Amino acid sequence: MQKIHAAITAVGGFVPDYRLTNAELVTMMDTTDEWIQTRTGIKERRILKGEGKGSSDMAVEAVKNLLEKKGISPKEIEMVICATTTPDMQFPATANVICDKAGMTNAWGYDLSAACSGFLFALTVGTQFIETGRHKKVIVIGVDKMSSIMDYEDRKTSIIFGDGGGAVLLEPDNDGYGIIDSILRTDGSGRVYLHQKAGGSVKPASLETVMNKEHYVYQEGQAVFKFAVKNMADVAAEIMERNQLTAETVAWLVPHQANKRIITATADRMNLPPEKVMVNIERYGNTTNGTLPLCLWEWEKRLHKGDNIILAAFGGGFTWGATYIRWAYDTV
């Protein structure tokens, strides 16, 4: 009997309307369009505007998009895992809020925190519930409102991040399609280079932490860059090797969109030509947990049943990983 695989059977996505262009950033800080484009590949990013709007609002739009495409009721969903670094609140979990707002009243769920690798980690977790037969319909979400933790006076960090997210539906597959393999890694010693200093149990919010701007993303860009280039490329090469994949048999690389130079380094290591690499960083920047599902959402119509797809990510923590998917459907 064939092993049950967890297959992605639908993808939804959402990006807010507001475009924060490099030209606008130039009016906010000492930077140039040329510097941002050459160092990162980004031209603009989307920002969620509106009082009281959070990550859940974008996730709900992505979920509704997915359910509509698939033609199923929210009540059929059994489980929701939301990968996010910018939850609506410290608690309860954003997954709960999403279930409520989207009418997924029969689902249980929780949030998963692994920074930019969160979607990959959540995909692997969701896969377990399908492979064991425990659930038949699991939604995995990657979403972030990075603008909520951005210091727009910090030109080294704020220029790369944006808001947005996506969702995928996982269902059982008995024909060898779906998520085939994953390699996931963490190295907690990397936390010093990329984190948010205050607001957790170690340093709760106070007047002082707010005055010191400790609720924003702190990133030592160059150090993170070095780790990201090496580890994302290494793990992508490793998953190809252990699944006997070659540059010819891989149809697509879906890389985390943090910096165009990191994406290029990973593709080069895999010997993949640019036309096999999904890149939308110029339009969305780094949406953290949102980058991978947003790529799948945008490229969905170009994916074919049987395509070998490698997802790769690197993020704060440090966390990183790669996942191999044999794509399960054609979009008609």
**Is residue 286 annotated as part of the catalytic site, yes or no?**
yes
If you count them, how many residues does the chain have? 332
Please provide the DSSP assignment of 103-172 as one string.
T-TT-EEEEE--GGGHHHHHHHHHHHHHHTTS-S-EEEEEEEEGGGG--TT-TTTTTTB-EEEEEEEEEE
**Is residue 116 annotated as part of the catalytic site, yes or no?**
yes
Euclidean distance between CA atoms 267 and 30, whole angstroms: 32
Cβ atoms 178, 6 nearer than 8 A:
yes
In the set 22, 116, 231, 259, the catalytic residue is 116
The answer to whether the Cα torsion of 84, 177, 298, 21 is positive or negative is: positive
**Is residue 295 annotated as part of the catalytic site, yes or no?**
no
| Minimum CB–partner distance for residue 185 and ligand UT7 (Å) | 14
292 contributes a contact to ligand UT7 by CB under 6 A: no
| Minimum CB–partner distance for residue 270 and ligand UT7 (Å) | 18
Euclidean distance between CA atoms 74 and 100, whole angstroms: 10
156 contributes a contact to ligand UT7 by CB under 6 A: yes
* Token output for 208: 């002082």
Find the Cα–Cα–Cα–Cα dihedral 75, 77, 78, 83, rounded to 10°.
Answer: -130
The contact mask relative to ligand UT7 for 215-254 (x = CB under 6 A, - = no) is: ------xx-xx--x--------------------------
258 contributes a contact to ligand UT7 by CB under 6 A: yes
Nearest to 66 by CA among 115, 8, 145, 2: 8
Euclidean distance between CA atoms 255 and 314, whole angstroms: 9
160 contributes a contact to ligand UT7 by CB under 6 A: yes
Beta carbon nearer to ligand UT7, 42 or 198: 42
- CA dist 160 → 182, 190, 194, 225, 317 (Å): 27, 20, 14, 12, 18
Window 269 to 288, contacts with ligand UT7 (CB under 6 A) = 286
319 contributes a contact to ligand UT7 by CB under 6 A: no
One residue of 47, 81, 98, 116 binding ligand UT7 per CB under 6 A: 116
| Minimum CB–partner distance for residue 60 and ligand UT7 (Å) | 24
167 contributes a contact to ligand UT7 by CB under 6 A: no
Using DSSP's 3-state secondary structure scheme, residue 206 falls into coil
One residue of 81, 102, 114, 159 binding ligand UT7 per CB under 6 A: 159
Q: Which stretch binds ligand UT7 (CB under 6 A): 30-38, 123-131, 138-146, 304-312?
A: 30-38
Q: Which residues bind ligand UT7 (CB under 6 A)?
A: 31, 35-36, 39-40, 116, 155-156, 159-160, 221-222, 224-225, 228, 258-259, 262, 286, 315
Catalytic site positions: 116, 256, 286
